[in-house]
Chain A
Amino acid sequence: SQKIEQNSEALNIQEGKTATLTCNYTNYSPAYLQWYRQDPGRGPVFLLLIRENEKEKRKERLKVTFDTTLKQSLFHITASQPADSATYLCALLSGNTGKLIFGQGTTLQVKP
């Protein structure tokens, strides 16, 4: 069956450290993968998109990698700040329907 999985356990790190979140998928061949940030009681906010032919994408303190062989994406936040505390969702496009399939999200807590 098709699955997209993120570590459901919360990630707690110290301010200034690099946070690394993992997204694994099975039985999908996505053209691209996306990462979103969701704060409590709010809708997700788009952060980054990485295509299947891209290994790495950066945006300010954010970095995403995409390994289609391992079927895995890693999401890094460098020099993390308490304001980065939120739930981060990965999502991939299912076929060419435009439907996004989401992982369950990983909650990041950055402590000062």
Chain B
Amino acid sequence: GAVVSQHPSWVICKSGTSVKIECRSLDFQATTMFWYRQFPKQSLMLMATSNEGSKATYEQGVEKDKFLINHASLTLSTLTVTSAHPEDSSFYICSAGRDGYTFGSGTRLTVV
């Protein structure tokens, strides 16, 4: 079945630094991928839709200059959290596919 690999699974960074998270579709091509954020005991909130070869579309309230998305190939999308602050600490998850979406295993970001 479809597999989406997300890396790293966890990362701790200092405030003010940038962190890159990778999302790969391992056995299928994904022209579209989705990035979510999930705070403890809350649901997944869609941040942006990543489109291969074009700009990502961001949900209302999500800063595109802070959360940089690059979808340079049909199997890879990256999310870079720039100038991270403690309030950016969260669980970030990507997904791809149609109908039944396949999710990555998530990245736990802690900004200290």
Instruction: Mark A residues whose CB is within 8 Å of B.
Output: 32, 34, 36, 41-46, 49, 89, 97-105
Partner of B103, one of A41, A43, A104, A105: A43
* Contact status A46-B43, CB under 8 Å: no
* Contact status B44-A89, CB under 8 Å: yes
CB distance from A50 to the nearest CB of B (A): 11
Partner of B106, one of A43, A46, A101: A43
* Contact status B32-A98, CB under 8 Å: yes
Instruction: Mark B residues whose CB is within 8 Å of A.
Output: 4, 6, 32, 34, 42-46, 49, 91, 93, 95, 98-106, 108
* Contact status B49-A99, CB under 8 Å: yes
Majority-rule SS of B interface residues: strand
Partner of B105, one of A43, A49, A101, A102: A43
Complex contacts, B102 vs chain A, CB 8 Å: 46
* Contact status B100-A49, CB under 8 Å: yes
A32 to B99, CA, bound (A): 9
* Contact status B43-A43, CB under 8 Å: no
* Contact status B103-A45, CB under 8 Å: yes
A90 to B4, CA, bound (A): 20
A105 to B40, CA, bound (A): 12
